[in-house]
């Protein structure tokens, strides 16, 4: 059984696929403790792979893209769930902190390393990804991720809940991108639009 926080249909709000309709399967639980995490880890529903497939079908209708997110989905994701969703015709995206190995068969991998992911409690073990989405928060150094083998590099200002501080983090993000053109800007467009 998988510990699922929620399953819902929306638009991808961040990174390469921004604006694309997706069904989000948000797993509960994580191996890191990020202050800006938007997942309620204490609540979850135990679900089977077949139950997740049924919920994805009900939530997304004709949509054929699923984003596996969390928390940290790599703590629970396995070949069974990938096989069940692929067999039903879904393309599978994952957003992971990169500190756990992934099963084979994912169609798009987003590594979103956190500041803790380079410390003693966790280290990015994934050797490559389709995209890196780095959240620029105090103490995060983007240059450390410029050599990471990904097709796309996105820098996203952290939402710290303080409008003044958020504006400063956005300015720092824009300044960094201007002087380091490897990076592209990612915004949490779902929050800007007031959608999930």
For the chain, domain boundaries: 2-193
Mean pLDDT to the nearest integer, 153-179: 94
Residue 190: active-site member? yes
Grade residue 55 by pLDDT with cuts at 50, 70 and 90: very high
Between 11-15, 48-52, 140-144, the lowest mean confidence (pLDDT) is in 140-144
Q: How confident is the model over 121-152, as pLDDT tens digits?
A: 458 899 999 999 999 988 888 998 999 999 99
Residue 161 is predicted with a pLDDT of: 86
At residue 33, the pLDDT reads: 75
The domain defined by 2-193 folds into: TIM Barrel (3.20.20)
Task: Give yes or no for a contact between 3 and 28, defined as CB atoms under 8 angstroms apart.
Answer: yes
Catalytic annotation, pick one of 16, 18, 34, 63:
34
The active-site residue, picked from 95, 130, 131, 159, is 95
In the chain the first and final C-alpha atoms are separated, in Å, by 25
pLDDT at 140: 85
Higher local confidence (pLDDT), 118 or 182: 182
- For every residue of 29-55, DSSP letters joined together read --SS--TT----TT--EEE-HHHHHHH
- Which pLDDT does position 72 carry in this prediction? 94
Active site residue 8: no
Q: Is 41 a catalytic residue?
A: no
Contacts 24+ apart (CB under 8 A), 145-152: 145/113, 146/180, 146/182, 148/111, 148/124, 150/111, 152/15, 152/16, 152/184
Which carries the bigger pLDDT value, residue 128 or residue 195? 128
List the catalytic residue out of 6, 16, 37, 63: 37
pTM of the model: 0.91
- The pLDDT of residue 116 is 52
Per the residue annotation, which of 14, 27, 30, 130 is the catalytic one?
30
Is residue 83 part of the annotated active site? The answer reads: no
Catalytic residue among 38, 78, 141, 175, which? 38
Let me know if 63 is a catalytic residue. no
Local structure of 15: helix, strand or coil:
coil
Contact 59, 9 (CB under 8 A): yes
Assign 59 to helix, strand or coil: helix
Catalytic residue flag (residue 189): no
| pLDDT, the chain, mean | 91
CA–CA separation, 118 vs 112, rounded Å? 12
């Amino acid at each position: 059984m998988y510990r699922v926080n929620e399953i819902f249909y929306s638009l991808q709000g961040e990174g390469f696929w921004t604006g694309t309709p997706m069904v989000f399967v948000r797993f509960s639980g994580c191996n890191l403790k990020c202050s800006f995490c938007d997942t309620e880890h204490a609540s979850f529903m135990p679900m089977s792979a077949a139950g997740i497939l049924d919920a994805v079908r009900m939530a997304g209708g004709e949509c054929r893209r699923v984003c596996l997110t969390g928390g940290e989905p790599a703590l629970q994701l396995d070949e069974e769930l990938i096989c069940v969703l692929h067999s039903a015709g879904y393309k599978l995206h994952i957003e992971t902190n990169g500190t756990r190995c992934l099963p084979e068969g994912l169609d798009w991998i987003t590594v979103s390393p956190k500041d803790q992911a380079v410390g003693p409690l966790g280290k990015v073990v994934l050797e490559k990804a389709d995209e890196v989405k780095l959240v620029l928060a105090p103490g995060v150094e983007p240059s450390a991720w410029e050599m990471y083998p990904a097709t796309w590099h996105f820098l996203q200002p952290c939402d710290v809940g303080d409008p003044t501080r958020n504006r400063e983090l956005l300015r720092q993000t824009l300044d960094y991108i201007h002087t380091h053109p490897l990076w592209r800007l990612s915004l949490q467009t779902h929050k800007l639009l007031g959608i999930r």
